[in-house]
Amino acid sequence: MRAYDVAYFMASVDDAETNRAFAEKNDADFPVLSDPDKTTAKAYGVLSMLGFASRVTFYIDGEGRIAYINREVSPVTAGADIAARLEALGVPRRP
- Tell me which CATH homologous superfamily contains domain 10-88: Glutaredoxin (3.40.30.10)
Higher pLDDT pick, 14 / 92: 14
Interval 25-83: pLDDT, tens? 999 888 999 999 999 999 999 999 999 999 999 998 888 889 899 999 998 999 899 99
Q: What is the dihedral of CA 90, 74, 36, 39, to 10 degrees?
A: 50
* Cα diameter, the chain: 46
Helix (H, G, I), strand (E, B) or coil at 50: coil
Instruction: Output the pLDDT for position 90.
Output: 87
The one-letter code for the residue type at 15 is D
- CA 93 to chain CA mean position, Å: 19
Instruction: Output the pLDDT for position 17.
Output: 96
* Confidence tier at 1 by pLDDT (50, 70, 90): very low
pTM of the model: 0.79
Distance separating alpha carbons of residues 47 and 79, to the nearest angstrom: 23
15: left (phi over 0), alpha (psi -120 to 50) or beta: beta
Interval 34-43: pLDDT, tens? 999 999 999 9
Domain ranges for the chain, please list them.
10-88
